[in-house]
Structure 1
Amino acid sequence: MPRSPADLMRVNLLEVFNEPDPDRRAAVIAENYAEDVVWHEPDRINHGRTDLVRRATEFLAENPDWVFRPAGPASALDDIGHLGFQYGPPGGQPPMVSGMDIARARHGVITELYTIVTKTRQPS
């Protein structure tokens, strides 16, 4: 059964960008993203699953001990999903980054993903 846009938003945040195992992460991407997915980050655009896998791997290596946490529930309207996030050290420490992911889905997979950073804290 295809996933809803809200379900896909939770998968994106927790099963891709919090997944340390590269094989598991690649399998989740293959199952939940269109082959020609386009991911818009604040500073670049990634085209296709291969770029998504590569960039997610790079991103996780930048701060390997940090985690994403949902900032509220995922929501959906028709084929659009949304989930706010916080990103930073685990264990209840304040997040270093806050933002949101917005995605368009078709046939139960993400076709376009937009990451918007709304707040960045400097480490103390």
Structure 2
Amino acid sequence: MTRSPADLMRVNLLEVFNEPDPDRRAAVIAENYAEDVVWHEPDRIIHGRTELARRAAELRAENPDWTFRPAGPAAGLDDIGHLGFRYGPADGQPSVVSGMDIARTRNGVIIELYTIVTEIRQPS
């Protein structure tokens, strides 16, 4: 099944970065990202599926009770997808981080991902 850029953005946020099970996360990464995917975070660049999975696990470990939530609908245009997000405690407290993921896709997989953080607030 070939996913649209908007579908890939939802998968990226909800089935990778919110997934607590490392085996399920790895399976989703293998299906939805190019082997040589490049992920640009605000403070680093990650290369390849293995490093993407490692970094996703690190983020989950830093705040295990936090979740990512979409901030509006995912959208796509040609081979570009984007989705705003909020990140923070899962228990209904306000989000701590907000931003946007933007991805270049090819043949139904993410080939390059950019994470832009637009706001960071102190947790209450």
TM class by shorter chain equals over 0.9
> Is 2:74 aligned against 1:74?
yes
Instruction: Report the 3-state secondary structure (helix = DSSP H, G, I; strand = E; otherwise coil) of the residue aligned with 1:11.
Output: helix
Q: Structure 1 segments of 4 or more deviating over 2 A? A: none
Q: In the TM superposition, what are the counterparts of 1:3-18 in structure 2 within 5 Å?
A: 3-18=3-18
Q: Which amino acid aligns with 1:116?
A: I
Please say which of residues 87-96 and 46-55 is displaced more in the overlay. Answer: 87-96
1:95 aligns to what SS in structure 2?
A: coil
Unpaired runs of 5+ residues, structure 2, are none
Unaligned runs of 5+ in 1: none
Cα distance in 2 for residues equivalent to 1:106 and 1:33:
9
Aligned to 2:88: 88
Q: CA deviation at 1:92?
A: 2.3
AA aligned to 1:70 is P
User: RMSD in angstroms over aligned alpha carbons?
Assistant: 0.6
Aligned pair 1:40/2:40, yes or no? yes
Percent of residue pairs identical: 84
Which residue in 2 is equivalent to 1:121? 121
Question: How many pairs align?
Answer: 124
After superposition, the C-alpha distances for 1:17-69 in whole angstroms (9 at most, x for unaligned) are 00000000000000000000000000000000011011001111000000000
Indicate the SS of the match to 1:9: helix
Find the aligned partners of 1:77 and 1:38 in 2 and give their Cα distance.
Answer: 20
Calculate the TM-score normalised by the size of structure 1: 0.98
Shift of 1:123: 2.0
